[in-house]
């Protein structure tokens, strides 16, 4: 009798314990699957950040970045002149190497030193329009302002040369282009000139660094960006003393942009 009285409570307790254990295991498994199936918040946030990040603006197509001729040619270009100190030195260095180059001139400097425009032409070099004032925000200006800057520099070059001279190229200040700038360039009968090698001489990194940058990045057909104005260009002049004979020794010939 005592056994019969005590048995039901113990069975009940074991049943309760077993049920609790089943519930706990079921809850744990459910939580595990829920956590396993749920997406990680970090990738979602990362994907969202990537989706929201602005895409890099593509470079405008159709800019001239190669030499006119194919093969082992290089086109040297000089910006922001003419300068009464550095332009004559660069012309002398180019003449000694038998090299042709393109000078991208600023109208304000052209009107101050018209004799240097004539000197550049007398040495067989080419001219490039680089605007009247070198406004690096020209890509944000109106068509009227863009036309004044581009056509104005072209006129300054004609007056300085005291002759009808070809100006085959226009180069945007800072390399910043807009559709309006390209349309005006075409309308004025010029090609939009860019570059494929930036010597970074404008940062004044030292003569050796200018030489190294060009030597490591130049390839057949390259258009090299250098400067004869816009600041102190003694490093550029010294670098040319190394680069010009090095380019010749490497089998390069000098050309104009395509």
Name the residues annotated as catalytic. 79, 227
Helix (H, G, I), strand (E, B) or coil at 213: helix
Task: Report the candidate in 119, 50, 118, 63 with the shortest Cα–Cα distance to residue 91.
Answer: 119
Are residues 126 and 100 in contact, defined by beta-carbon separation less than 8 angstroms? yes
Name the residue with tokens 């390209």: 182
Please give the Cα distance from 186 to 206 (Å, whole number).
37
Q: What is the largest CA-CA distance in the chain?
A: 133
**Structure token pair of residue 84:** 């009464």
The 10 Å Cβ neighbour count of residue 178 is 16
Half-sphere exposure of 254 (CA within 13 A, CB side): 22
Please give the Cα distance from 101 to 192 (Å, whole number).
16
């Amino acid at each position: 009798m005592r056994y019969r009285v005590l048995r039901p409570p113990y069975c009940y307790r074991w049943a309760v314990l077993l049920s609790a254990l089943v519930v706990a295991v079921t809850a744990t498994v459910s939580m595990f699957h829920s956590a396993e199936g749920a997406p990680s918040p970090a990738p979602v946030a990362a994907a969202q950040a990537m989706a929201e990040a602005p895409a890099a603006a593509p470079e405008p197509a159709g800019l001239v970045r190669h030499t006119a001729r194919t093969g082992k040619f290089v086109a040297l270009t000089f910006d922001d002149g003419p300068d009464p100190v550095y332009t004559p030195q660069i012309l002398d260095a180019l003449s000694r190497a038998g090299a042709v180059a393109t000078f991208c001139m600023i109208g304000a400097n052209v009107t101050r030193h018209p004799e240097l425009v004539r000197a550049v032409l007398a040495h067989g070099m080419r001219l490039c329009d680089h605007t009247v004032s070198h406004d690096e925000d020209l890509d944000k200006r109106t068509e009227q302002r863009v036309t004044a800057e581009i056509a104005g520099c072209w006129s300054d070059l004609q007056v300085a040369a005291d002759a009808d001279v070809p100006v085959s190229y226009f180069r945007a200040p800072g390399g910043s282009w807009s559709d309006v700038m390209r349309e005006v360039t075409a309308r004025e009968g010029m090609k939009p000139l860019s570059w494929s090698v930036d010597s970074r001489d404008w940062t004044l990194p030292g003569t050796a660094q200018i030489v190294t940058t060009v030597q490591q990045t130049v390839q057949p057909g390259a258009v090299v960006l250098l400067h004869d104005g816009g600041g102190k260009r003694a490093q550029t002049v010294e670098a040319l003393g190394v680069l010009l004979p090095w380019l010749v020794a490497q089998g390069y010939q000098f050309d104009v942009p395509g």
